[in-house]
Structure 1
Amino acid sequence: MALSHKEIFERYMYAGAITRNPDAIAAMFTDDGVYDSPLVPDGHPLHHLVGRDAIRTGTALYHQQSQPSSQGTMNLERSAYVLHDTTDPDVFMAEIDVAFDQPDGRRTTMSLLQIFRLRDGRIAMLRDYFTEPPSAAPTG
């Protein structure tokens, strides 16, 4: 039974943003899957990854280098997303607002857009349009 766009997106979010599990993220992609983040600088661990091994390695490195505490604590109740289907049943988009609670009581939001292209129920291409605040950007 094929998964809905919502189910694919929620599984992807759980594997990435919630559990930060590079094996689970990579398993969602086709063997030749591409993860592309066009807005991050060259050298960023998520800039352009091709194949499950590269996706596994890149997301693991990103999660090791990123400092979630510098962004605050993700607030799932305040975070939100909207999915948009397209005329192509294998393509959908996600508008995401990730809310963070800062240690000093401030609340911040990181907004991003993701475009998913599927093949046989797996992610063949994910374009992840996001930028990180300078204090949260991984160093490398």
Structure 2
Amino acid sequence: MSVPRELFERMWPHWLGHTTRQGNEADLLTEDVVLEMPFARPGGPSRVEGREEVLAFVTPRRAALPARLDGVRCLAVHGTADPDVIVVEYEITGTSALTGRRASLPFVGVLRARDGRVALWREYQDTAGIAGALGLD
């Protein structure tokens, strides 16, 4: 298995809130990691730089998400000319705490690894679809 693919799979438990069993999320990230969200919600950042800044950004947002995330399903992993970069297609399944509705939403991510850690995570998401699935639209 490639390092980027292994890192991608090690990220899932943190998304699902299973952090106590999977160690510290900070250990997966380079000190200068970059998080990019090209389709970020209006008013939100589209880029966050640095491990502490990324964790300070994602941790409270996950905690405040009005949903229980139940699973991640990898649809495809695409290698690139650079062995440290993969493109992943995946779905996250969850249940809205507001509506009780269960939904699976598609995502695409680009992961760049360096020295066995995530140096770049670029995530493409349907923010309107997410809002609708959560009952926030």
TM-score, reference length from structure 2: 0.75
SS in 2 for 1:100: strand
Match of 1:90 among 81, 84, 93: 84
Partner Cα distance (2:52, 2:101) in 1: 38
Q: Counterpart of 2:111?
A: 116
**Partners of 2:28 and 2:118 within 8 A in 1:** yes
Partner Cα distance (1:16, 1:101) in 2: 14
Name the count of aligned residue pairs: 129
- Kindly report the root-mean-square deviation, in angstroms, between the aligned alpha carbons of the 2 structures: 3.0
Query: Which amino acid is 2:38 matched to?
Result: P
After superposition, the Cα gap between the structure-2 partners of 1:20 and 1:113, relative to the gap in structure 1 and judged at 3 Å, is farther
Partner Cα distance (1:137, 1:30) in 2: 35
1:38-95 Cα offsets, whole Å, 9 max, x none, are: 1112443x632111110110111211221115xxx52x3xx52121111101100110
| Aligned positions of 1:71-110 closer than 5 A | 74=70, 76=71, 79-81=72-74, 82-100=76-94, 107-110=102-105
Point out where structure 1 has 5 or more consecutive residues left out of the alignment. Answer: none
Q: Counterpart of 1:129?
A: 124
Question: Which structure is higher in helix share?
Answer: 2
Deviation (angstroms), 1:3: 6.0
Q: Counterpart of 1:7?
A: 6
Deviation (angstroms), 1:116: 0.4
**Partners of 2:5 and 2:86 within 8 A in 1:** no
Identity in percent? 23
Partner Cα distance (1:26, 1:112) in 2: 22
TM-score, reference length from structure 1: 0.74
